[in-house]
Structure 1
Amino acid sequence: MLNFHKEHRNLVLTAGGVFIALSTLIAILPAVQMQRTEPIPDEKPLTANEREGLHVYVAENCMACHTQQVRNIEMDKVWGNRPSIPSDYYYSKKRMDFWRQSPSVLGSERTGPDLTNIGNRQPSEDWHLLHLYNPRAVVSASVMPSYPWLFREVDSAAVRKDDKIVAVPKTLFDKPGRKIIASYDALRLVDYLKYLKQTPLPGDNNDDFIPALKKIQAERAESGTAQGLDGGKLYSQVCAACHQETGKGIAGAFPPLAGSTIVNDPNSETLIRVVLQGYDARTDFGVMPPFGDQLTDAEIAAILTHERSSWGNDAAPVTEEDVAKIRQYVEMELNK
């Protein structure tokens, strides 16, 4: 029996052996396994801008409050299509150079929501920039701090063609002749956030872990119609972050849907096109990204029907067939 009180040499050797064994088990073997991990077939590597955004993400310590890991438990289903696997981090964990490993962005706390799939949940660049400038402008109950050092206030006459003007509500910034400009770091950070999208596994083996948006669709699949979907829930999950639950939008940032002439137009073609193709025709509001690739015809019809019958709006429902017809026109125009 070892007597560590008197045999200090054995104590040091035993402690050293335990340290080496634990280091091998906890650090070295997982690192070796990570080097052998292959990317998911359709997974896209980070572009140069997105990788710079990753470095800004790390420099601002975003992982202190946000995670990037979807666990295999019921409560995590809202954050992704499936549980995370090592291959999801193949490109983001690529070594920075020979001497430096890329820092971990998995995080361990969810003071803020998980960001694994934020590029799909919120594809709007303008939303992200306004959220960074003042989180409470888009999420009233947010506890996230503002990042004013990522933005500049400039004279309107000094705005250059390639400057990105942030759509800030007048309640937050009302200085005639002045604009808020996103810095290079802010734009790169948003590039990285928009990159964060879960890549589907080969063979579509993700059906046992369906997020809220697809769960609603699956529950109503038997009806096969837009009326079988809950347009209110879909609106809350897809549109409310910008246009708000009240449909009033955010003045100076995102337009209101309540009382909108486009929403209430008897001819729903323009409204459908806005959702399918996005909208960037009004300089006084942020750009709306297209949702044609993310939403089915039935989902779009359900959302638009909800919009056209809520907040005092009173217009005819939009059918799945209406959306399918306009989608066909859009695809024909793009293929010309």
Structure 2
Amino acid sequence: MEIYNNHKRLFGAAIILFIALTMFAAILPALNEEKTSTPLPGSKALTADETAGKGIFIREGCIACHTQQVRDVDMDKVWGSRPGIAADYARIRRTDVWRNTAMLMGSERTGPDLTNIGLRQSSQDWHLLHLYNPRSVVEQSIMPAYSWLFEVKDYAFPGDVVLHVPDEYRKGITGQIVATKEALQLVAYLKSLKQTALPDGKPTPIFLYGKDVKESGTGKAGTANKASAPQFDGAALYTANCSSCHQPNGEGLVGAFPPLKGSKVVLDDNPEVQITIVMKGYSGRISEGYGVMPPVGINNNLKPEEVAAIINHERSSWGNNAKQVTADQVKKIIASFKTDNSKTAK
């Protein structure tokens, strides 16, 4: 064929074929995906600091050990309330005409998945301590320390975020350990990673390959024991929501997170203060060197029964022996929050 003897026609045909294939195999499917996978209504674009933090996340190699994808398999339930969908990543746009935005879904889980870390762990103080020395909050952690994201000053200036590092991890440092702007930006990005709730009417993806849960029956096969109410494991809920700061032994971290072992709040027969702190957070001990506790109950959508289970675990562990609380007590106190808010609004 003459086309093989004419390099202009040969290369021209090759270019046309390449463009056609690119259009049908890449560009048109991508445009169609953009139309069908719009951002979820409750999602938010990253702020300037969060965007800068994302760049630091990439620069420091965090993507090598952490994923940001909740797969539709049962083992991924610990990372999010539902499997991820394309719309979860719809706000990831090109940086500019020449550069594409990095997708940080990852492929390795040497460390835990971070899809929902902003809700699982919303404490800025915890994240900063974890970056400075991961072993200070998670004893068995193999994550490297990012101490270069902090600086030591003789005196902290107004506006500085001082890190309250336990003595055993200060390594002889006598000054104030202060978070740099980059450390704060990285934490801002981590705290922005939250799984957005699906709008009403949209089917929720299911987790596959889960364990078959067989209901126990007392009579005919397949008849469930309706008399048995669901039980919540307070120890497991404490581990998932509280132990990273207050530690598995309830002793907290000196100068960082207060102890629950022997705590007056935990041992009080009236659970109102303890329930309020779990649901609304607390900042009353900043003067003692402790950070702000986030509203764990609200952030993690804890049910009254789950809050009661956590509180009862705290009240009966590590030598504590306080009066147990019921889910109804928790519901009553949570309902009082709404009453107080309505009075304040008036």
By the TM > 0.5 criterion, same fold? yes
Deviation, 1:98, is 2.8
1:276 corresponds to: 279
What is the alpha-carbon distance in structure 1 between the residues aligned to residue 170 and residue 80 of structure 2? 35
Instruction: Let me know the Cα RMSD of the aligned residues.
Output: 3.1
1:161 corresponds to: 158
Does the CA contact (< 8 Å) of 1:309 and 1:315 recur in 2?
yes
**CA shift in 2, pair 1:108/1:14, >3 Å:** farther
What is the alpha-carbon distance in structure 2 between the residues aligned to residue 26 and residue 138 of structure 1? 48
Larger Cα-atom Rg = 2
What is the alpha-carbon distance in structure 2 between the residues aligned to residue 324 and residue 103 of structure 1? 44
For residues 158-194 of structure 1, give each alpha carbon's deviation from its aligned partner in whole angstroms, at most 9, with x where no partner exists. Answer: x222111112111112768621111111111111111
**CA shift in 2, pair 1:132/1:19, >3 Å:** farther
1:104 corresponds to: 103
1:48 corresponds to: 48
Aligned to 1:198, which of 192, 195, 200? 195
2:221 corresponds to: none
Deviation, 1:278, is 0.8
2:269 corresponds to: 266
Paired residue type of 2:336: Y
Aligned residues: 319
What is the alpha-carbon distance in structure 1 between the residues aligned to residue 112 and residue 18 of structure 2? 36
Query: Counterparts of 1:16-165 in structure 2 under 5 Å?
Result: 27-29=26-28, 31-36=30-35, 37-91=37-91, 93-156=92-155, 159-165=156-162
Paired residue type of 2:257: F
Aligned to 2:206, which of 164, 185, 208? 208
TM-score with structure 1 length normalisation?
0.84
What is the alpha-carbon distance in structure 2 between the residues aligned to residue 97 and residue 64 of structure 1? 25
Aligned to 1:257, which of 253, 257, 260? 260
**CA shift in 2, pair 1:178/1:121, >3 Å:** same
**CA shift in 2, pair 1:48/1:260, >3 Å:** same
Identity of aligned residues (%): 48
Stretches of structure 2 lacking an aligned partner (at least 5 in a row): 214-225
What is the alpha-carbon distance in structure 1 between the residues aligned to residue 175 and residue 151 of structure 2? 10
1:301 corresponds to: 308
Matched, 1:245 2:248: yes
What is the alpha-carbon distance in structure 2 between the residues aligned to residue 206 and residue 35 of structure 1? 20
What is the alpha-carbon distance in structure 1 between the residues aligned to residue 306 and residue 228 of structure 2? 11
Deviation, 1:22, is 7.7
What is the alpha-carbon distance in structure 2 between the residues aligned to residue 112 and residue 309 of structure 1? 32
For residues 2-47 of structure 1, give each alpha carbon's deviation from its aligned partner in whole angstroms, at most 9, with x where no partner exists. Answer: xxxx99x8x9999989977886677545543443331112222222
Deviation, 1:334, is 3.0
Does the CA contact (< 8 Å) of 1:79 and 1:115 recur in 2?
yes
Matched, 1:187 2:184: yes
What is the alpha-carbon distance in structure 2 between the residues aligned to residue 252 and residue 15 of structure 1? 68
TM-score with structure 2 length normalisation?
0.82
Does the CA contact (< 8 Å) of 2:72 and 2:206 recur in 1?
no
What is the alpha-carbon distance in structure 2 between the residues aligned to residue 199 and residue 144 of structure 1? 27
Which range moves more in the overlay, 278-287 or 185-194? Answer: 278-287
Stretches of structure 1 lacking an aligned partner (at least 5 in a row): 1-5, 216-221
**CA shift in 2, pair 1:174/1:141, >3 Å:** closer
Paired residue type of 1:81: S
